[in-house]
């Protein structure tokens, strides 16, 4: 599907390709020159949707802001202890 480069260096990505890749307005296009051709990777834009509650089924209890440092330290200690007991070493 050929395209003509416009006066500002723009090209149109054909609708069949946009549909196949699920591209929507606002996606980020990152271009890389590879030898004698261009590769383009598309990334969705940041969204405004709330992720609140997405991990609720995995949470055992709510943690207050004041308790967060102690909970984080306890989690790290538990993980280090588990690694130590299993004999895992970092390289």
Q: What is the mean pLDDT of each run of 10 residues along the chain (91 residues)?
A: 90 94 94 96 87 80 86 89 75 54
**pLDDT value for 58:** 83
**pLDDT value for 81:** 86
**pLDDT value for 35:** 96
**pLDDT value for 27:** 93
Question: Rounded to two decimals, what is the model's pTM?
Answer: 0.49
CA 76 and chain centroid, separation = 24
What does the domain layout of the chain look like in residue ranges?
59-86
- Do residues 55 and 76 touch, judged by C-beta distance below 8 A? no
Strand partners, 33: 38
**pLDDT value for 86:** 79
Please report, for residues 58, 61, 75, 85, 87, the alpha-carbon distance to residue 71 in angstroms, rounded to integers and kept in the order given.
16, 11, 6, 21, 24
**pLDDT value for 5:** 93
Please report, for residues 17, 44, 57, 80, 91, the alpha-carbon distance to residue 14 in angstroms, rounded to integers and kept in the order given.
5, 18, 42, 52, 48
């Amino acid at each position: 599907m050929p395209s003509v480069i416009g006066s500002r260096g723009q090209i149109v990505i054909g609708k069949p390709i946009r549909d196949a890749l699920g591209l929507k307005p606002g996606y980020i296009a990152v271009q890389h020159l590879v030898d004698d051709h261009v590769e383009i990777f598309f990334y969705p834009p940041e969204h405004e949707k709330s992720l609140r509650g997405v991990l609720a089924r995995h949470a055992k209890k709510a943690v207050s802001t004041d308790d967060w440092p102690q909970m984080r330290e306890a989690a790290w200690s538990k993980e280090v202890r588990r690694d130590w007991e299993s004999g895992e070493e970092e390289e």
